């Protein structure tokens, strides 16, 4: 591995937000999965949780341009399992969903350990997930369209988290586990 590449990987991992997770509930279009993974990695998300549609596993099919090598993807059979796991890790569980009970996404404190659930393109969030989550969040819309594309909604919420965490100095704290860093540096040398 060149010193430049080693340096680049180290810098990326040093900025990782290990306590900020994305959880995908049956999101299944390849271009959406790819865009979500790219955005998540760009804001330093390291853990992506996913419940797949029909045994499909888009991320495993290499939709995300290799970026998943730099992140951990955790599969769950049902959304309740994912939520249990995330809550056991001490995270607040937010669900992105357009409803009267949802608060504006900018009102949430994303400097806390946080997981954000995004749901299927057509079906949206399921009742179980809405019931199990701590809080519903919504991205305000002022036009005629009924919803945003799911990768767009994910990006808007994640960049609000990025804004808050940057202000709080959280990109200056290297919380990335040393052992995982060594493993990724090793893998990064042999692409």
Ligand X SMILES: C[S@@+](CC[C@H](N)C(=O)[O-])C[C@H]1O[C@@H](n2cnc3c(N)ncnc32)[C@H](O)[C@@H]1O
Interface contacts to ligand X, rule CB under 6 A: 96-98, 118-119, 121, 124-125, 138-139, 141, 147-148, 150, 153
**Minimum CB distance to ligand X, residue 178 (Å):** 29
How many helices (DSSP H) and strands (DSSP E) are in the chain? 6, 7
96 binds, among ligand X, a second copy, none (CB under 5 to 8 A by kind): ligand X
Any idea what the Cα angle at residue 34 is, between residues 173 and 9, rounded to 5°? 35
Decide: is 70 part of the binding site for a second copy (CB under 8 A): yes
User: Which tokens sit at 74?
Assistant: 């955790």
Answer yes or no whether residue 149 interacts with a second copy by CB under 8 A.
Answer: yes
Cα–Cα distance measured from residue 9 to residue 15, given in angstroms and rounded to the nearest whole number: 10
Of the candidate residues 91, 151, 161, 176, the single one contacting a second copy (CB under 8 A)? 151
CA distance 148 to 180: 35
Q: Indicate the residue among 114 and 119 with the shorter CB distance to ligand X.
A: 119
Burial, 144: exposed, middle or buried (Cβ in 10 Å; 0-12, 13-18, 19+)?
exposed
Return the range that interacts with a second copy (CB under 8 A); candidates 47-55, 79-87, 129-137, 148-156: 148-156
- 90 in contact with a second copy (CB under 8 A): no
- Please state the closest distance from residue 128 (CB atom) to ligand X, in A: 14
Cα 90 to Cα 101: distance, rounded to the nearest angstrom: 23
In angstroms, the Cα distances linking 38 to 56, 63, 153, 169, 178 are: 20, 10, 14, 23, 23
20 phi/psi in degrees, rounded to 5: -120, 110
Which of the choices a second copy, ligand X, none does residue 181 contact, using the CB cut-off of 5 to 8 A by kind?
none
- 67 lies in the site for a second copy, by CB under 8 A: yes
Q: Give the binding site for a second copy (CB under 8 A).
A: 8-9, 12, 15, 29, 31, 34-35, 38-39, 41-44, 65, 67, 70, 106, 139-145, 147-149, 151-152, 155-156, 159, 162-163, 166, 171
């Amino acid at each position: 591995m060149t010193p430049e590449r080693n340096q680049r990987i180290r810098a990326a991992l040093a900025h990782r937000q290990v306590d900020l997770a994305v959880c995908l509930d049956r999101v299944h279009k390849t271009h959406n999965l790819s865009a979500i993974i790219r955005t998540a990695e760009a804001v330093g998300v390291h853990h992506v949780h996913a419940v797949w549609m029909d045994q499909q596993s888009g991320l495993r099919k290499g939709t995300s341009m290799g970026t998943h090598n730099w992140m951990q993807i955790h599969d769950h059979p049902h959304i309740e399992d994912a939520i249990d796991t995330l809550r056991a890790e001490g995270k607040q569980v937010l669900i992105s969903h357009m409803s009267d009970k949802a608060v504006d996404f900018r009102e949430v404190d994303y400097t806390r350990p946080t997981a954000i659930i995004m749901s299927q393109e057509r079906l949206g969030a399921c009742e179980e997930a809405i019931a199990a989550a701590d809080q519903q969040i919504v991205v305000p819309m002022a036009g005629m369209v009924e919803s945003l594309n799911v990768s767009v909604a994910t990006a808007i919420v994640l960049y609000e988290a990025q804004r808050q965490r940057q202000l709080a100095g959280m990109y200056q704290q290297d919380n990335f586990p040393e052992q995982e860093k060594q493993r990724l540096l090793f893998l990064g040398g042999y692409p």
